[in-house]
């Protein structure tokens, strides 16, 4: 079992839980990235629009943006994500954490530390190395409703077919994944973080 160095490059796999077929991204990130920075990386790499609340969960502790009036439905105070680095939560290969985006739709992601690699200066903040499938549209009702939408668009005789395509847009392709575009979005995030 490989344990992290002082500063390393992490290869992480982020999978949208319960997605069939699986929607996932494999990224290289610096081990010392803040959780708030890692949140932005997840948003950019998965294709979310960062318009909802989020939180990380590891060992029954929750990390996010603290709010005295809101505890994410857990009844447990949220620790300030900007005070923690990814390496505080993921310390060895195969460690994992949960990331939830949009508490209404409940988009849960499993983040697994696959490999600990030597520190790579060519990875400024994050780099996507591969992935599969497009991100579900925001506010579509969560993974179960998204699965229903996928079934509807496969069946032109379905009574909701036209309405669903009107809402999704005719160019929506659930199988689409463009590595170059994902890395462009990550690069835009990197420029903002400078």
Block mean pLDDT (10 aa), the chain, length 194 = 70 97 96 96 96 96 83 72 97 98 97 95 88 95 95 93 89 94 87 51
Q: What is the DSSP letter of 35?
A: H
Decide: 74 and 125 in contact? Cβ < 8 Å: no
Integer Cα distance of 145 and 19 in angstroms: 11
What's residue 122's pLDDT? 80
* Residues in contact with 161: Cβ distance below 8 Å, sequence separation at least 6, in sequence order: 152, 153, 155
3.90.1150.10, 3.10.290.30, 1.10.12.10, 3.40.50.1370: which CATH number matches 8-135+176-193? 3.10.290.30
Closest by CA to 104, choosing from 53, 41, 146, is 53
């Amino acid at each position: 079992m490989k344990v992290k160095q002082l500063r390393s490059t992490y290869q992480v796999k982020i999978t949208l839980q319960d997605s069939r077929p699986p929607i996932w991204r494999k990224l290289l990130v610096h081990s010392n990235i803040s959780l708030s920075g890692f949140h932005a990386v997840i948003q950019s790499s998965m294709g979310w629009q960062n318009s909802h609340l989020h939180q990380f969960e590891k060992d029954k502790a929750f990390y996010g943006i603290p709010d005295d009036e809101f505890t994410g439905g857990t009844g447990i105070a949220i620790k300030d994500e900007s005070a923690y680095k990814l390496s505080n939560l993921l310390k060895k290969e195969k460690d994992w954490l949960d990331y939830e985006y949009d508490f209404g739709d409940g988009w849960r992601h499993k983040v697994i530390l696959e490999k600990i690699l030597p520190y790579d200066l060519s990875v400024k903040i994050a780099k996507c190395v591969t992935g599969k499938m497009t991100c579900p549209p925001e506010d579509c009702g969560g993974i179960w409703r998204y699965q229903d939408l996928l079934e509807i668009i496969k069946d032109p005789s379905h009574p909701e077919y036209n309405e669903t395509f009107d809402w999704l847009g005719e160019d929506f392709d659930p199988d689409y994944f463009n590595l170059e575009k994902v890395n462009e979005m990550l690069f835009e995030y990197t420029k903002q973080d400078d």
